[in-house]
Amino acid sequence: MVSDGVAELGIDGAALDAAVGERSFTGVVTVDVGDRRAFERVEGDAHRALGVPNAARTRFAIASGGKTFTALAVLRLVEEGVLSLSTRVRSILGADLPLIDVEVTVEQLLTHTSGVGDYLDEAADWEPADYVLPVPVHVLADTEAFVPVVDGYPQSFPPGERFAYCNGGYIVLALIAERASGVEFHDLVEAEVCSRAELRRTSFLRSDDLPGDAALGYLNDEGDRTNVLHLPVRGNGDGGIYTTADDLHTFWRALRDGRIVREETVEEMIRPRFDLPDEGLRSGMGVFLGATAPRLVMEGHDAGVSFRSVHDPRTETTVSVLGNSSDGAWPVIALLMEAM
């Protein structure tokens, strides 16, 4: 185990042990600095029933962390002139999703300011282990299959009025990216984000066809119940991509180096737009930012997933916590984020 990285963050081992034990954390914690893995800790099982342990190279689902990948795929289309930030989504949706206001733009979807009614409302009273999808999960393998799922939700507020985190808006982004480009959404993310960043082990996997190096997602701190009946069989625009700790550090460095989108596009992405004091964050465009420091943040929470990755471009430091249970990672995340 590489162990000096947590000390560099000002955290002692006993505090980390306590955080790991609080919710029986299962997953991987890493601190990467430049080309060096400064800290690595692996806990729990990728497959509990078979006793298959997690490993540093295990692939984990990252839930809403995937929204950043969606945003980058869309921004690549903007750079190529296929879309613009001012494109009105109605021009691509046609008669579909008629309750979306005609004034809603690509930029508003990217910045969670569209006011589009959300099929998975973050403010609603539901738990990650609830069955929240209105259709059988096995049908949700492709983007077009989500159209009836996100349909029927009226605007929550006029476009551009304020920030409101919106899962449905990122499904709409995937839909218009696919229709505008003529490339299936998952293939678009692979070509325009993963390949450009040289991510070798990041992709949208099917939950009913996981490879041996991918962790199952567990609903609870203990027990063998997985999330396979709680989430779409394959993730889409609002999240669900699988990745590794190694790929996350590679991703952040590729983003800051302008290898995914141009540097001026990155600067527009990381321009702070709204303060989110309840989250200790600020919102950018497809990425969150530290409350004060210029840190870049991806976060995901869903049935069988608890995840956060934070990158400090000043020191080329990435701190990632990838958990394969619904809540196990949060005490660890809270401890590490306090120190950054």
What confidence score (pLDDT) does residue 3 get?
A: 52
pLDDT at 238 over 60: yes
- Mean pLDDT value across the chain: 95
For every residue of 219-266, DSSP letters joined together read SSSSSS-BSTTTS-SB-BTTB--EE-HHHHHHHHHHHHTTSSS-HHHH
Looking at the predicted structure, is the pLDDT value of residue 1 above 50?
Answer: no
Asked if the model's pLDDT at residue 235 lies above 50, the reply is yes
Q: Which residues contact 108 (CB under 8 A, 6 or more apart)?
A: 114, 115, 159, 160, 169
Pairing of strands 60-61, 52-53: unpaired
**Mind listing the pLDDT tens digit for each residue in 134-174?**
999 999 999 999 999 999 999 999 999 999 999 999 999 99
Task: For 68-90, write each residue's pLDDT tens digit.
Answer: 999 999 999 999 999 999 999 99
Query: Is residue 280's pLDDT more than 80?
Result: yes
Domain 4-339 has CATH 3.40.50.2300: no
Q: Please give the pLDDT value at position 297.
A: 97
Q: Is the pLDDT of residue 336 over 50?
A: yes
3-state secondary structure of 324: coil
Question: What is the mean predicted confidence (pLDDT) over 234-261?
Answer: 98
